[in-house]
Amino acid sequence: MKILVAEDDETMAGYIRKGLIEQGFSVDWVSDGREALTYCLYNTCDLAIVDRMMPGLDGLSLVKALRASNSSLPVIFLTAVSDVEDKVEGLMAGADDYIVKPFHFSELLARIHALSRRPKENSHKTELTCHDLKLDLLKRVAIRQGQVIDLQNKEFALLELLMEAEGRVVSRTMILERIWDFSFDPGTTVVETHISKLRQKIDKPFDTALIQTVRNMGYRIRAPH
């Protein structure tokens, strides 16, 4: 298995590279984001470990560029940028995992093995569908029956969350954590308000409603049987 380490701290990169080589991996190292992007696009590689703060091109822009080019290369962010909002941003950009420095090498190794076991069909998607509704994750637009639906950022994120879990109930708590970064229920009606707005745009103009409320549990999006 060949791994790219994109890290501008030479000492940190040396530590990671040495540990991975001892575990039997083939490892290349670059210290610049643009060089990392070029490497990932034009070389054979099985996984990339990426710092968020790098010269040339930051890690977040690097991952977005990879996904925009339809690359499904597994990416692990390994970074000191530790806020929950930053983690969510990194994962939403297309990273497969997010580890905060300082870290235990054994954890990094476990995450690498977990990603290596992931079936190829579970690689990063650029489009989600449910019945006649399509969500383009690159262009960030929703289309139903050929009609483009204008969504605000939070509405898009909420619809993406529901469509990722198509057919399964997404709890109100999970929605608050993922979309609004609340680690507790603040008693707000923001979820209900945005679900209502989504229904006005996604369901109301069409014959078939896709967004469902599951009493005392949450919400789900499901194609009609």
Write down all domains in the chain, each with its CATH number in brackets: 2-122 (3.40.50.2300), 127-221 (1.10.10.10)
43: helix, strand or coil: coil
Angle at 124 between CA 111 and CA 114, to 5 degrees: 20
Residues of the chain with pLDDT under 50: 121-123
| Cα distance between residue 203 and residue 194, in whole Å | 13
Give the pLDDT confidence of 116-161 residue by residue, as tens digits. 876 554 445 688 999 999 999 888 899 999 999 999 999 999 999 8
Q: Which residues pair with 136 in a beta bridge?
A: 127, 141
Prediction pTM value: 0.54
Phi-psi region of 70 (alpha: psi -120 to 50; beta: other; left: phi over 0): left
Phi, psi dihedral angles at 144 (to 5 degrees): -135, 125
Q: Which residues in 189-204 are b (16+ Cβ under 10 Å) and which e?
A: eebeebbeebeebbbe
CA distance 214 to 158: 16
- H or E stretch covering 50: strand 47-50
